[in-house]
Structure 1
Amino acid sequence: MKCPQCVYTNPDGVKFCISCGETFVKNNMEEDENSFFYEFAHYVDMVPRIERSIEPKFQNVFSRVFRNHSELEAERLFIVGTALTTPKISEVTDTWPKPWLFARMFIVALLAFAGFYIGVDYFGNVNFIPGLIIVGAFAVPLTTLIFFWEMNAPQNIAIYRIIYVVLIGGILSMLVALVFFDILKNIINPITIGIAEELAKAITVISFVRYRKYRYILNGLLIGAAVGAGFAAFETAGYALRSLMSGDAQNLYTTILWRGLLAPGGHVAWAALTGAAFCRVQGDHPFKLNTLVKYKFLRVFFLVVLMHALWDTPITGMFPFGQAFLIIASWIVVFLLIRAGLKEIGEKKVMD
């Protein structure tokens, strides 16, 4: 099946072009439904869908966290985003999702970290140290990322793609940041640090979402969170290793603890906001450089830079209360953009 938009040759049975996201018109749905994968997807989809609510109240959004969930529900979440399982825009629900899987992932990460901690602290086995640093660094950023993945109502991004963005996007954004730091080495301060790191993440996020395949606000929010999660985790692992090399084992645990507690409102949320703002201004249009100077994008990007600069500002008594305030402020904007993303889906459903 050759895409009429980008001439990419796709396998038979896909709903949209794997390369550019162009939607195909189905001429023989019966053939698709006979495939084993489609039968499995249909069966899993019979599991009661997550109840949704229009009001973004915390008791509504997080109401399913403490309920029992079957493995079938988790399996249904993990098969979304492929060319065969991505729903049409008319099938997408434009009310508030109720995520729950992120909480289970956090518990699993805590159990793994506890195991590594016992191995290092109680048994004194240095072989457990790399696992301690890796799991400790990734636990909270990945948990926050899973939350954004569950909030991606279009369900058009597969989990393997998210893992790819975390690893490649995380290291790429760090390398770009180092380039900016080298350029600004004579004027390093909280403001230039904020500019360098947020600009590096913005460039990386835009490189992933500039194609029309990821054109929704919620897509930008998710891809941005993936880049930010990679950046945050790799950075935390680096600081933890520095603490270990300094000979202060207690400082290693303190570094992982505090950076883990503050991770949801730092790099993950900031990169998510940048990605959502970019997708909001680009929409269905091809990428153009003038998109980056539009007011709706710049106001979010400058807000992110400002919050990052305030985060790093060495004000007496700032830590941790100032960071807590910035986390709350970041997530207020996150929820506002989630609302805008759901509204966007509602408008597209009407036009479809």
Structure 2
Amino acid sequence: MKCPDCDYVNQDGVKFCMNCGNNFFRGENNDQDLNSQFYEFANYVDMVPRYERSVEPKFQNVFSRVFRKHSELEAERLFIVGTALTTPKIEEVKETWPKPWLFARVFLIALIAFLGLYLGVSFFKNINFIPGLIIVGAFAVPITTLIFFWEMNAPQNIAIYKIIYVVFIGGILSMLVALVFYDILKHNINPITIGIVEELAKVITVIYFVRNIKYRYILNGLLLGAAVGAGFAAFETAGYALRALLSGSFPSLYSTILLRSFLAPGGHVAWGALTGAAYCMVQGNKKSELNMLFKPKFVRIFILVVLMHALWDTPLPGIFPVGQIILMVLSWIVVFRMIRSGLKEIANKKWRLNNYPFEPTS
């Protein structure tokens, strides 16, 4: 099927051009119908159509597309962004709020898989399902939260392959760095030192991945930090779940997975995202340097994250998990403020390019 607008040859049966987003079934007098239906995608670089975006981060706006019907083609186009051929120029990036939806589908798929594994263990007593139960249970919510950050990455310059790579390599690398710090501290372990050690380990890992000048936006740091945090959280949950299983208690196994999954969005994923974004905020177009960790903008966010982590781990009888839920809400308030800063950064960058087109970008 050849597109009349751009001459791109598409496979048979598609309703929209895979190159320019042209609607093949648009008639001359059906503009009203066209406005009432949802575009698969206007083009590769426009993740959300103009009329599907909002400037203000209201929950009814940001999550308004979660319960709408979406085609497989739309999901496929989401997964191709971030490559050398599909990364938009900064001038083409929208500085308004995206409306993510794919993360909800990912969570639904993971939930169905987890329930199937749960049936295999609980009702059919098949121990071969236990490893899958632990793995899926540990990764489901962190990966779901990560996909949300990936959809919110307005520059669309990081491919899903890179994110998967950061989750596994970054997750295990940050845990190993944390173990080195713990070994140095030895017996001086308390909620404050735990917060410093684990958040610093994640920051060091994020710096390794953002040292390339290609990933320099605040939203990039938010995403890569969330990827490292997701790997850290998933591996940690899997370890605690295994400990619960070795204690001989299946109810303890299930409760460990469910509780940690429920709290996962406000823990390592959000904290890693915040420190990653803070580092990219101070890095800008410069090359990564160690002294950037001492910049006031980064230090403020890092101290805030460490304090939240320390309060999270502080054993206060009678408030668990209420205290963690409050901290989770606070974490996401700061996350949305950081997203706003990231979108403002893009708007300012576009303004400078429009007014000073010959200004060097790196």
Q: TM-score, normalised by structure 2?
A: 0.86
Counterpart residue number, 2:333: 332
Runs of at least 5 residues in structure 1 that lack an aligned partner in the other structure: 1-32
Q: How many residues align?
A: 320
Give the whole-Å Cα distance in 2 for the aligned partners of 1:201 and 1:35. Answer: 45
Give the whole-Å Cα distance in 1 for the aligned partners of 2:191 and 2:82. Answer: 39
1:113-155 deviation line (CA, Å, top 9, x unaligned): 0000000000000000000000000000000000000000000
Query: What pairs up with 1:286-325 in 2 under 5 angstroms?
Result: 286-325=287-326
Q: Secondary structure at the match of 2:274?
A: helix
Give the whole-Å Cα distance in 1 for the aligned partners of 2:289 and 2:199. Answer: 20
1:206-257 deviation line (CA, Å, top 9, x unaligned): 1111221100000000000000000000000000001101101110000000
Counterpart residue number, 1:200: 201
Give the whole-Å Cα distance in 2 for the aligned partners of 1:35 and 1:299. Answer: 52
Give the whole-Å Cα distance in 1 for the aligned partners of 2:277 and 2:115. Answer: 35
Q: Secondary structure at the match of 2:171?
A: helix
1:168 aligns with 2:164: no
Q: Secondary structure at the match of 1:186?
A: coil
Note the aligned Cα RMSD (angstroms): 1.8
| Cα deviation, residue 290, structure 1 | 1.7
Counterpart residue number, 2:158: 157
Counterpart residue number, 2:42: 46
Query: What pairs up with 1:267-282 in 2 under 5 angstroms?
Result: 267-282=268-283
Q: Secondary structure at the match of 2:20?
A: helix
Q: Secondary structure at the match of 1:206?
A: helix
Counterpart residue number, 1:186: 187
Contact 1:41/1:85, CA 8 A, preserved across alignment? no
| Cα deviation, residue 46, structure 1 | 3.4
Which one-letter code corresponds to 1:194 in the other structure? G
Change (3 A) 1:329 1:158: same
Counterpart residue number, 1:82: 83
Q: Secondary structure at the match of 1:254?
A: helix
Counterpart residue number, 1:14: none
Q: TM-score, normalised by structure 1?
A: 0.88
> Rg bigger for which structure?
2
Which one-letter code corresponds to 2:42 in the other structure? M
Which one-letter code corresponds to 1:46 in the other structure? A
| Cα deviation, residue 351, structure 1 | 1.3
Counterpart residue number, 1:284: 285
| Cα deviation, residue 41, structure 1 | 4.2
Which one-letter code corresponds to 1:226 in the other structure? A
Contact 1:172/1:204, CA 8 A, preserved across alignment? yes
Query: What pairs up with 1:101-116 in 2 under 5 angstroms?
Result: 101-116=102-117
Give the whole-Å Cα distance in 2 for the aligned partners of 1:42 and 1:140. Answer: 34
Counterpart residue number, 1:134: 135
Counterpart residue number, 1:12: none
Which one-letter code corresponds to 1:277 in the other structure? A
Which one-letter code corresponds to 1:93 in the other structure? K
Which one-letter code corresponds to 1:97 in the other structure? P
Give the whole-Å Cα distance in 1 for the aligned partners of 2:233 and 2:318. Answer: 24
Which one-letter code corresponds to 1:320 in the other structure? P
Q: Secondary structure at the match of 2:187?
A: helix
Which one-letter code corresponds to 2:224 in the other structure? I
Counterpart residue number, 1:343: 344
| Cα deviation, residue 318, structure 1 | 2.7
1:301-327 deviation line (CA, Å, top 9, x unaligned): 111011000000011123100000100
Contact 2:57/2:97, CA 8 A, preserved across alignment? yes
Contact 1:171/1:231, CA 8 A, preserved across alignment? yes
What percent of counterpart residues are identical? 73
Change (3 A) 1:133 1:86: same
- Deviating beyond 2 angstroms after TM superposition, the runs of 4 or more aligned structure 1 residues are 33-37, 39-50
Contact 1:41/1:76, CA 8 A, preserved across alignment? no
Counterpart residue number, 1:261: 262
Give the whole-Å Cα distance in 2 for the aligned partners of 1:237 and 1:224. Answer: 20
Runs of at least 5 residues in structure 2 that lack an aligned partner in the other structure: 1-6, 12-16, 22-39, 354-362
1:263-284 deviation line (CA, Å, top 9, x unaligned): 0000000000000000011101
Which one-letter code corresponds to 1:225 in the other structure? A
| Cα deviation, residue 45, structure 1 | 4.2
Counterpart residue number, 2:26: none
Which one-letter code corresponds to 2:170 in the other structure? G
Which one-letter code corresponds to 1:221 in the other structure? L
